[in-house]
Amino acid sequence: MLERKKDYKAWLYLGIPLFLLSVFTFYPLIKTIFISVFTQYDAVENAMGSMFNLDAYRTIFRDKNFIRSIGNTLLLVFISVPISTVLALLIAVALNSIKPLQRIFQTIFFIPYVTNVLAIGMVFNVMFSHPFTIGLVPEGLINTLFNTSIDWIGVTALRKHWMLVVMIYVIWNALPFKILVFIGGLQNISKQYYDAAKIDAATPKKTLLRITVPLLSPLISYILITSFIGAFKSYESVLSVVGGVGRELDRKRWTAVAYVYDKIGIPGLDGNNVSYYSRGAAAAVILFLIIMVFTFINLYASKKRVHY
Amino acid sequence: MQEISTRIDYRKNDRLALQKTNYILRKIGTYTFLTVVALFVLIPFYWMFNMSFQSTNEVLNSASISFFPKEFSPDNYRKVFAYSTVSQASITFATYLKNTLIVAIFSTVGGTFFSILVAFALSRLNFKGREIIFSILLATMMIPGEMMVISNYITVSRLGWTNDPGRGSYYAMIFPFLVSIFHIYLLRQTFKQIPNELYYAAKVDGCSDFKYLWRIMVPMAKSSIITITILKLMGAWNAYIWPDLVANERYKLVTTWLRSSFVDQDSGQGRVLMNYQMGASVIVTVPLLILFVLFRKYIMSGVSRSGVKG
């Protein structure tokens, strides 16, 4: 194909970027795995130590906070992702079926994508606010609209309440990308399928389930993979809606990623003679493995079920 | 012979009339559904602006919330710009904005430049190990960044950048995320579509590889390059957890400022000033909205080709 250059020339282009990638992407990837199994890793001296075992994994699986943070993450993943995907599909189909105002709606639905996760998260925080001492400050928008007095996100909020707010926010945030991708997919479907359906007097529901969904199945599986991965990594959205000032987040509300970040910057060993860094690294590896398993399951399932 | 009318009046034909009604009902349903979703999307924005223009007295001392500011107080914004908590006096929005701009400019320019170089080498130059490098990059793209964060923190700490009251803080925020594999991948796809013949023609005319890249390939891939530049810029503007973790107090970014506590300092009750908080949210959100209005096409095309945010 192309004549072989003297190789060094290519390295002039690749040198610096690949060096940076090696230092900040490839090397840390391997190092994290090492830290998770050398359980007395000393971050100050950057010494791996001689304890090579799986204690860090054992410790985190006995750690209530870790189990709970995985639980929170799974709840978020398995409730918000299906809802937002179905909702986005319905919105895209509805958008695709209209002519007037289509572009305006499309632009409105895309706006959440170009906002700051933290800023709008704080808006949700304000909308769901509830005065800590009744009467000191007024109730927030949601409590006023529904005439309730529920502590949605405050320190005394129940799990079901703050989780609901986080999920609404996560769905709000996830819609634009999915709608955009689905609309792209819908516009690629040949019109003749729909004409044929019309001749056969198929109901809109039948058209959706028998034509649109099967033809979009590659896209749906792609969206599911990427949003499962994205939701497994959620942290900032939770932090901004139900967190305190700065990076302060009640440990009951941690996600898996929050657990990892919490272990950064703590030198020394915990009560089980496992370094905090090793625990964080082990949690990161577990998260990575979960994501990998899901990616492969999704890929496998989509190969079997996808109709092209 | 009897004349056959080809015109069908749907009002006189029951089945057609029913079909027509169904059609209209369906349209109404569709528009209602879309309007409800649009409200769901827009209400947070309305609420953000609404609260940001309310006076402190109104936010703290009313019996109920206002759906519209009673006393319109744009003065909030001036106060939010000048706001600094006691512990970090003299660090106001201006400082955070300066830091953010420095980090954003260097990571955007540097990141885009490196992405162009790597994408060029991987799509046009022929050298030993090219396929291996590309496969490694592709495989790494699937791995969550949280895997690297722990080790990267140790690395930047050992380099003396963490909490450094000097340039180190900037380095710690810029270098770990400078090269984006995803952007390299996006650009490589675009570069691959440029026909080889152009390259040979340029070679015949005595054009060097480097010159060919900047004079021919970059202009031809302009829209992809604008897309990754904007994505990079938005990423830098929105970055929070890592910069907040590593940077010195004086070198943190606007997101840290956004997350700081805007508290009513006069009454001594420590009540949160939601109007200031929402003002800060507006200040962080509006530049992004402007960027969106200006580069809507590029952002939407980049996003539909991507899969990951930022």
pLDDT digits (tens, 9 = 90+) for B197-241: 888 888 888 888 888 888 888 888 888 899 889 888 988 999 999
Facing B148 at nearest CB: one of A25, A113, A184: A25
Residue A7 reports pLDDT greater than 80: no
Query: Do B44 and A116 lie within an 8 Å CB cutoff?
Result: no
Contact status, residue B107 vs residue B243, Cβ threshold 8 Å: no
pLDDT tens string A138-185: 888 888 888 888 888 888 888 899 999 999 999 999 999 899 889 888
- Cα–Cα distance between A70 and A65 in angstroms, integer? 9
Query: Do A115 and B289 lie within an 8 Å CB cutoff?
Result: yes
Residue B307 reports pLDDT greater than 50: no
Q: Would you call B43 helix, strand, or coil by DSSP?
A: helix
Residues spanned by the domain of B121: 89-260
Identify the closest residue of chain A to B307 by CA–CA distance. Answer: A226
A-B Cβ pairs (cutoff 8 Å, strict): 273
pLDDT tens string B34-87: 999 999 999 999 999 998 998 888 887 777 788 888 888 888 888 888 877 656
Residue A230 reports pLDDT greater than 80: yes
Flag whether B182 is in a domain. Answer: yes
Query: Do A21 and B181 lie within an 8 Å CB cutoff?
Result: yes
What is the DSSP secondary-structure string of chain A?
Answer: --PPPPHHHHHHHHHHHHHHHIIIIIHHHHHHHHHHHBTT-BTTTTB--S-BSSHHHHHHHH-HHHHHHHHHHHHHHHHHHHHHHHHHHHHHHHHHT--TTHHHHHHHHHGGGGS-HHHHHHHHHHHT---SSBTTB---HHHHHTT----SSSTT--HHHHHHHHHHHHHHHHHHHHHHHHHHHHHHS-HHHHHHHHHTT--HHHHIIIIIHHHHHHHHHHHHHHHHHHHHT--HHHHHHH--STT---GGG--HHHHHHHTTT--SB-TTS-BHHHHHHHHHHHHHHHHHHHHHHHHHHHHHH---
- Cα–Cα distance between A98 and B29 in angstroms, integer? 11
Q: A21 phi and psi, to 5 degrees?
A: -65, -40
Question: Assign residue A38 a region: left if phi > 0, alpha if psi is -120 to 50, beta otherwise?
Answer: beta
Contact status, residue A270 vs residue A290, Cβ threshold 8 Å: no
Flag whether B116 is in a domain. Answer: yes
Residue B46 forms contact with A (CB below 8 Å): no
Average pLDDT over residues A229-246: 88
More confident: A7 or A74: A74
Residue numbers of A between 167 and 226 with CB closer than 8 Å to B: 172, 175, 177, 180-181, 184, 204, 222, 226
Identify the closest residue of chain B to A235 by CA–CA distance. Answer: B241
The contacts of residue B304 (CB under 8 Å, 6+ apart) are: A180, A181, A184
How much is the pTM? 0.89
Task: Give the CA angle between residues B79, B166, A117 to the nearest 5°.
Answer: 50
pLDDT tens string B237-296: 999 999 998 988 888 888 888 888 787 766 666 677 888 889 999 999 999 999 888 888
Identify the closest residue of chain B to A33 by CA–CA distance. Answer: B147
Cβ contacts of A5 on chain B, cutoff 8 Å: 125-127, 209
Residue A118 forms contact with B (CB below 8 Å): yes
Which percentage of chain B shows pLDDT scores above 90?
23
Which two tokens mark B69?
């500011």
Query: Do B278 and A123 lie within an 8 Å CB cutoff?
Result: yes
Work out the pLDDT band at B305, boundaries 50, 70, 90: low
Contact status, residue A28 vs residue B151, Cβ threshold 8 Å: yes
- Cα–Cα distance between B161 and B154 in angstroms, integer? 10
- Cα–Cα distance between B149 and A263 in angstroms, integer? 11
**ipTM value for the complex:** 0.88
The contacts of residue B154 (CB under 8 Å, 6+ apart) are: A31, A43, A46, A277
Instruction: Give the helix/strand (H/E) hosting B204.
Output: helix B196-204
Q: B272 phi and psi, to 5 degrees?
A: -75, 130
Residue B60 forms contact with A (CB below 8 Å): yes
Average pLDDT over residues B96-106: 92
Average pLDDT over residues A286-306: 79
Instruction: Identify the pLDDT of residue B10.
Output: 65
Which two tokens mark A298?
């999704």
Contact status, residue B47 vs residue A127, Cβ threshold 8 Å: yes
Query: Do B303 and A177 lie within an 8 Å CB cutoff?
Result: yes
Residue numbers of B between 113 and 132 with CB closer than 8 Å to A: 114-115, 117-118, 120-121, 124-128, 130
Count of domains observed in chain B: 1
Identify the closest residue of chain A to B255 by CA–CA distance. Answer: A118
CATH topology of domain A75-254: MetI-like fold (1.10.3720)
Residue A230 forms contact with B (CB below 8 Å): yes
Instruction: Identify the pLDDT of residue A203.
Output: 81
Work out the pLDDT band at B310, boundaries 50, 70, 90: very low
Burial of residue A14 (number of CB atoms within 10 Å: 0-12, 13-18, 19+) = buried
Domain CATH for B172: 1.10.3720.10
Mean pLDDT taken over chain B: 85
The contacts of residue A293 (CB under 8 Å, 6+ apart) are: none
Q: Which of B24, B34, B130 to mutate to test the interface with A (most CBs of A within 10 A)?
A: B34
Residue for token pair 């009313």: B62
Q: A43 phi and psi, to 5 degrees?
A: -70, -30
Question: Assign residue A63 a region: left if phi > 0, alpha if psi is -120 to 50, beta otherwise?
Answer: beta
Instruction: Identify the pLDDT of residue B2.
Output: 61
Flag whether B302 is in a domain. Answer: no
Flag whether B273 is in a domain. Answer: no
Instruction: Give the helix/strand (H/E) hosting B136.
Output: helix B130-141
Domains of chain A: which residue ranges?
A: 27-62+263-308, 75-254
Facing A94 at nearest CB: one of B34, B149, B245: B34
Query: Do A291 and B144 lie within an 8 Å CB cutoff?
Result: yes
Q: B205 phi and psi, to 5 degrees?
A: -80, 5
What is the DSSP secondary-structure string of A25-88?
Answer: IIHHHHHHHHHHHBTT-BTTTTB--S-BSSHHHHHHHH-HHHHHHHHHHHHHHHHHHHHHHHHH
Instruction: Identify the pLDDT of residue B308.
Output: 39
Which percentage of chain B shows pLDDT scores above 70?
91
Residue for token pair 């964080």: A280
